[in-house]
Structure 1
Amino acid sequence: MTKAASQYEAPSRVPVGVDPTRASIARVYDAFLGGKDNYAIDREVFERVKKVAPEAQDLAWSNRNFLIRAVRFLVDQGGIRQFLDCGSGLPTAENTHQVAQRIAPEARVVYVDNDPVVIAHGNALLEENDYTNFVSADIFQPQQVLQNPEVCRHLNFDEPIALLQVGTLHHYTADNGGELMREYIEALAPGSFVAISHFYNPETPEHQALATRMEDVFIHSPMGSGRFRTKAELMKFIPGLEIIPPGPGLEPDIVLSDLWWPDGPLLRPLSQVEECSAAVVARKPIG
């Protein structure tokens, strides 16, 4: 047994293809959300981040709550009936298909992830849902996703699609993320939408220091990724798209995840960590 393997106590039943001595993005998020489908190595990442940001759990909930609000908007106001959810993570309460199909039962959702635990849980959840599928692919290889036979069978790329990158792109640590997203966007029909939430460096003295500390912990943790990008860097992920205003009377812009069309007035100040998560919804121009 290797030194790394001996440091962590693996569960008695480990799914085939899962290495419990390596952190998984999906399982780490599950730990952040208080779930049970994670191992000691995943919880270690959570505990490390909590040491520099006690409210670290807010990062995951900012992503999750933005996803719910964005999907409602995309179905109700955007008229979207097809979703490509990249890096879906482990199923939890209020998944994309549940939110979308509550409004439009015919809405089609394809989840993409390459974690065996996610695929196993997802397939079990969706055994009786003919409008929702899980696909195993690397979301950071766009053509692997876009040319996947199951993706092409269930989604019609000649019609508008909502591409969701919620809590995913900060795990793409290379500097050519704009080119990665351009490949996805070029495949989308006019009228399609892109929704993104991302770890954020607000570049203010107080929050920049916190973002830098959290980024350092994520990158040097067993997960090995988690970039906190600035607004200028995030803009590169939506080339040629029209940003949707993030609230009544507001100019189109990237905003804090919790401030993107919140469900009601904020009755408490945002935590320091919530100031370090940003979101945007944008549309591919028609005509």
Structure 2
Amino acid sequence: MLDALSAETRPGMISALSRSVALESFIALEAYVADRTTEYAAALTATRMSPSQSPIGSAALGRRLVAVLAKRLVGSEAAAAEQLLKDVADSVASLSTSAMVVHPLQMGWTGSNLQASDIPPLLAFAGYKEEKAWSQLTHLWMRIEGQQQARVSLKGIFEESAEFRHHAAHRPDAVLPLPNLLTLPRNVAHFACSFDLLMCMGFHALRSSSPQNQVPPPSAASSKMRRVVHGPKGWSELAPDSGRSVKRSASLEDAIKLARSRALKNAECLIVSAPSGRLCEWSYPAFA
């Protein structure tokens, strides 16, 4: 729809449509990250890891709760606030035990909206160093895109998306650049994919660790991408790196099922693309 716009289209319609794309794309990303961090928190709790084994340590876990709690309590109904405080108290109490209870608030963000500065602390939960978090994300994004060398950083793409969202929310007359808007939903989806896969890779390493044997998180640059794509003869499963078709299936469901089993065995990422080339599904089967 966006690429059908012309110079003769009413300016008001262009402004409203561009603002809607910018807002909805980033709101969807924030909702996705919030949902996934809730699942990450549950997965970390299930490992029964001690606070001292956590990559960020018990003190940082407590500080993150304090930083995010006040924002979440504002505007909460009394019953919801009471339950939230109870859950937070359980999480705080667990910091002095041998099995931590991770609350989703510890993976929340302190501002009104998700910012680039919020991402490295989240990746630290999965064992990645904060100062290298965006570099790891960019390397993984390059693998997903099949690039040998990144033209821009994923951080720059994220910051552009966040800036568009800010302008769309606070400037009713904002008309955002059409070429950027055409790629915005795709960029947001690729960030979500890179972020989720890197978190899952790190958590898989944590889950495989023990107090005597700490397994470091894998480097994004060495990650393997198994792909499922649509072709003239149905759905093809492509092997990592070589791109060689190893299996063709008539249905997408069968193709994903077979590819997932191989990705699980080899600790690979699984990327599924729609017939249009749009990224439509991803997973790291080793951390289900």
Structure whose alpha-carbon radius of gyration is higher: 2
TM-score, normalization by structure 1: 0.29
Higher helix share: 2
Higher strand share: 1
TM-score, normalization by structure 2: 0.29
